[in-house]
Amino acid sequence: MQMPFVIRRKMAVCLLVAALLTVWAAAGMAGVPDVAAQAGEGPQLWVEVEALNVREGPGVSYPVIGLLLQGDQVAVIGHHAASGWWQVQLPDGRAGWVSGGAAYVRVSGDTAGVPEVAAPGVSATAAIREQGNTLVFQAVSGGPIYAVNTDGRTGAGAGLRYLTTGIDPALSPNGQQVAFTRWDDTQHGAFGSLWVINVDGTGERPVLGEVRQPKSPVWSPDGTQLAINIQRGGRLAPESKCGKGLPSEPLVADEDGDYFRLVYEKENGVIVDFKICYTLLPHPFWGLRVVQVASGDFEDLPGDLFSYAPTWDPANDWHLVYDGEMGLVNLDLNRGTTWALTDDVNDHAPVFSPDGNRLAVSYWQHDHWDIHVMNADGSGRMRLTETPLRAIVEKQLRGEEPRSWNNDAPAWSPDGALIAFLSDRTGRWEIWVMSADGSNTRLMFPSGTLDGIDLQYFNQNERVLSWW
């Protein structure tokens, strides 16, 4: 079968480039990688983990210059024996370094001829982050956590880097650490655990283990404590019951798809009584806990039976706000008392502004999510996002579902002037940003910055974004 012209032309170009590189290498051109490796004939490296940072040198002290995703294949062009790191050829032609750990990569081919390459000096750009220019986000709850610069740089300069896997990442007040949680962590407890990691990807360690489904960590203003959301009591597994009536709670269907069955009591073949049997869904209670970062010591806090997504007041270290049963709730940590902040059950996942003067919330707007802001005392509510009627009509005219956009998971910029958030207005979840008054809404990152990362969001109070 004859190859299409475009494919034949690309192959011809590749062969021409390979031939030219061979000539240049023979002429002693410095810095040109091995041609066989470029052509796929030399040793190859496959990425085994979800994501792998590519750095300027062999070690985590070097800046991140790129990112490889699971299944990516690149040519090996050098090795650093002291660290075990491999120098690889990136798809855009640049050289970079990746960890040689067997848990991270797999190398095939004969590596005997791979040259030993000295570690370069750490440049002035070795600081992985710059103050006020880092956003940490999760691709999906429990999945990869990344960090990226937010100062407008693109490509390699955007500094996109993989940190770890977990739930609800939160940057510390000094921007140096990221807190997150994990569930089903068999190594540190059957239920879940609380962790911290340095923002450059080093120093990952558990803070607290054996916690039932922890999530939504938030730092105290001085960075010494973390408040988390934990599952605390209630019905933790499906429960079978029988009675005279049906409950108002959701039920579990049996293998025949039935949600309840009648059980009759008979005497001499005559029905004298009956009962309704059914299985209730799990219905756990959720509470709050404060944990000392250094020691792991903790204290459970008062609150509602269903207390979610705490946010710590940066201006008053005694004050938390959380998502309660009937709206947002204030919590005085010193006195252990609570009182209502709002009486709107549609307020969810509150986040304090950096100065503590305002709160942003994810608000359930009839059939979709929007972002509201209010003063710290609950006054001055303002809706920041809204789907234009034109956009809904255009969808309907195209034969698509005429639905409103979801705008969710707000995160304040370090100076409080901007709010980053998730939106599905283009048909997929993306990170958007707007001024704190709702104006100047735009995509947060230039096209290509987050290529290969599939953001997912399930509207379960996930804290997807953290900005410092």
- One domain, residues 412 and 451: yes
CATH number of the domain that residue 67 is part of:
2.30.30.40
Mark residue 296 as left, alpha or beta (left: phi above 0; alpha: psi -120 to 50; beta: remaining). Answer: left
Give the pLDDT score at 105. 93
In a domain? residue 172: yes
In a domain? residue 27: yes
Give the pLDDT score at 131. 40
Give the pLDDT score at 22. 42
Amino acid identity, position 445: F
Q: What is the overall mean pLDDT for the chain?
A: 86
**CA–CA gap between residue 17 and residue 26 (Å, rounded):** 14
Q: Hey, what's the torsion of the CAs at 50, 51, 57, 61, to 10 degrees?
A: -100
- One domain, residues 243 and 305: no
Give the pLDDT score at 190. 56
What's the rounded mean pLDDT across residues 120-124?
61
In a domain? residue 8: no
Last residue of a domain, one of 219, 251, 280: 280
- One domain, residues 271 and 418: no
CATH number of the domain that residue 334 is part of:
2.120.10.30
The tens digit of pLDDT for each residue in 16-72 reads: 444 444 433 433 333 333 333 344 578 999 999 888 889 899 987 787 888 999 999
In a domain? residue 369: yes
Per-residue pLDDT for 202 more than 70? yes
Range of the domain at 425: 144-234+283-467
Last residue of a domain, one of 65, 87, 120: 120
**Of 288, 301, 322, the residue nearest 211 (C-alpha):** 288
Strand partners, 55: 64, 97
Range in 84-93, 133-142, 234-243 with the lowest mean pLDDT: 234-243
Number of independent structural domains in the chain: 3
In a domain? residue 72: yes
The tens digit of pLDDT for each residue in 359-392 reads: 999 999 999 999 999 999 999 999 999 999 988 8
Last residue of a domain, one of 87, 120, 153: 120
Give the pLDDT score at 272. 86
In a domain? residue 9: no
- One domain, residues 109 and 249: no
In a domain? residue 204: yes
- One domain, residues 60 and 76: yes
Query: How far lies 173's CA from each of 13, 219, 381, 414, 467, in Å?
Result: 52, 7, 26, 10, 10
- One domain, residues 355 and 422: yes
In a domain? residue 2: no
